[in-house]
Amino acid sequence: MREFDFIVIGSGIAGLSYALKAAEKGSVALVTKRRTVDSNTAWAQGGVACVVSEEDSFDLHIRDTLVAGAGLCNEEAVRTVITEGPERIAGLVELGMQFDERDSANGERELDLGKEGGHSKRRVLHFQDTTGFEIERTLVERIADHPAITVLENHMAVDFLTTGKLGYAMQDSCVGVYVLDEASGLVETLRSDTVVLATGGCGKVYLYTTNPDVATGDGVAMAWRAGAVIANMEFIQFHPTCLFHSKAKSFLISEAMRGEGGILLDAKGRRFMENHHPQKELAPRDIVARAIDAEMKRSGSKCVFLDITHKPADFLKSRFPSIYETCLSHGIDITTQPIPVVPAAHYQCGGVKTDLNGETSLRGLYAIGEVASTGLHGANRLASNSLLEGLVLAHRAYEKTTRQRKPRIEFNLPEWRPGQVQDVDELVVIYHNWDEIRRLMWDYVGIVRTDKRLQRAATRLRNLHAEIQEFYWNFKVSTELLELRNLVAVASLIVDCAISRKESRGLHFTLDYPEIDDAKFLRETTIRRT
């Protein structure tokens, strides 16, 4: 058993920010199942939404967020994240993060702010079109060789250790975590009174996603198995524009491109968003994604097109260098050709229910970043609010967990007992189940849903859950098997939440109940393992 003052699981903007701050107060174990830089944060292109311009205001940003959230935002959470954002951005800049600047009208340098869907003002700070990667790089450089931080790369969290499971007659608390060391194949026991979950989202539960391979919903699945309350998992955001190309895997075409004037065209080259929303291409993401889905189904086409060829070539190359180079490598010159795009699963708006300090319903367990449901996003996330939330909640969780710390309670946690298991000799079973889950979620629990599709998904997922559980207990654990176990759990949570919401709101749209029903469903969807 290895003991730490703080255990952080996940290495995106939230986990790294918290770890850096907590390291000033004690020892930190940073657990990440791949390399430290492998996170959803590193894939974020657009930027960070924050009020830094005199032409903008907190009230405008709050209003835009509430409108996008379709009635389900926690207004206190919205106000807290937005008003505390500028200070957290300043802290990030102090660590070395540089955002793009431009020459102002009076010749002075100023921040170059982008505009994205649902925003009434330009307020998105960015570094070209690789903002997330630059943030990740900045934080990882600060983490490296920090004397108080033990980085455990290629270590995957298996399950939390709780006093309830250990048989103690006290309030159920998280006191540690089992972690698989992929190199040795051994499961280690990590002990702490403060465990911070920052594992990101669950995009890989769908066949098509903008997320990296690490996004398998591990944190939500672990928290659910430990008995924590989960909220709003029916609200999965589909990004409207993912590159459609047989050799392009999960490549996002940033919403910032539409913010700079990109227009959406159907297969015949006709603009169509004006038929769906007054804000056209800059409508909230749920509306744009559904509009694209409808156009594709109406015409039978496999994609639509994003056209920004009317902008100067030099501007496109400097503002979107990563998108330009990636598209060019696939034979698409964005300066002269429209980009083929389709919607893809992008962001988990629900998650482990927390307060504004990251506290979950399970004592000792905190959740920050995309894995958490703070109430900021409601039924639909406003573009580029997520990185800001990660920064603000990491700081608030740090203040909460380090204020008036109590002496550590001594627990002698049990070692992992694998039992009489054998090595997995048929990985094809894991890969088949993985593929089946992702396909059924795409087909039955996608952008547009029905009761019949959801019930079919629920029935098949119950059978898959039983198969995977049997596999889990009879074979030696591996990263692939653990991810599959988490994937089926999160898929089931999404479906169960979706079935219970008999209306269409934000990201949850069902043909059986196409209208909003405030009388019955102006509330969170919560679920807890019994």
Confidence of residue 424 (pLDDT cuts 50, 70, 90): low
Domain that holds residue 442: 427-527
Residues for the chain: how many in total? 530
Confidence of residue 366 (pLDDT cuts 50, 70, 90): very high
97 in any annotated domain: no
Last residue of a domain, one of 282, 314, 344: 344
286 in any annotated domain: yes
What CA–CA distance (Å, rounded) separates 333 from 21? 43
Name the pTM for this structure.
0.93
Q: For 475, list phi and psi in degrees, rounded to 5.
A: -130, 160
Report the pLDDT value the prediction gives residue 235, as an integer from 0 to 100. 98
Last residue of a domain, one of 325, 344, 363: 344
What CA–CA distance (Å, rounded) separates 447 from 507? 7
Domain CATH number, residue 501:
1.20.58.100
Amino acid at 471: F
352 in any annotated domain: no
Confidence of residue 409 (pLDDT cuts 50, 70, 90): confident
Count: domains in the chain: 2
CA angle 362, 369, 233 (to 5 degrees): 70
What CA–CA distance (Å, rounded) separates 180 from 8? 15
458 in any annotated domain: yes
Last residue of a domain, one of 293, 323, 344: 344
pLDDT of 304 strictly over 80: yes
pLDDT of 423 strictly over 80: no
pLDDT of 420 strictly over 90: no
Domain CATH number, residue 328:
3.90.700.10
What CA–CA distance (Å, rounded) separates 125 from 130? 11
What average pLDDT does the segment 192-198 reach?
A: 97
pLDDT of 151 strictly over 80: yes
Write the pLDDT tens digit of every residue in 63-82: 999 999 999 999 999 999 99
490 in any annotated domain: yes
28 in any annotated domain: no
Question: Tokens representing 432?
Answer: 């088949």
Burial category of 144 from C-beta neighbours within 10 Å (exposed 0-12, middle 13-18, buried 19 and up):
exposed
What CA–CA distance (Å, rounded) separates 389 from 52? 16
517 in any annotated domain: yes
CA distances from 376 to 248, 372, 490 (A): 32, 10, 21
15 in any annotated domain: no
Write the pLDDT tens digit of every residue in 238-297: 999 999 998 887 899 999 999 999 999 999 999 999 999 999 999 988 899 999 999 998
Report the pLDDT value the prediction gives residue 132, as an integer from 0 to 100. 95
- How many beta carbons lie within 10 A of that of residue 511, not counting itself? 12
Report the pLDDT value the prediction gives residue 425, as an integer from 0 to 100. 66
Report the pLDDT value the prediction gives residue 431, as an integer from 0 to 100. 87
Catalytic center residues: 285
Q: For 79, list phi and psi in degrees, rounded to 5.
A: -65, -40
Pairing of strands 230-231, 351-353: antiparallel
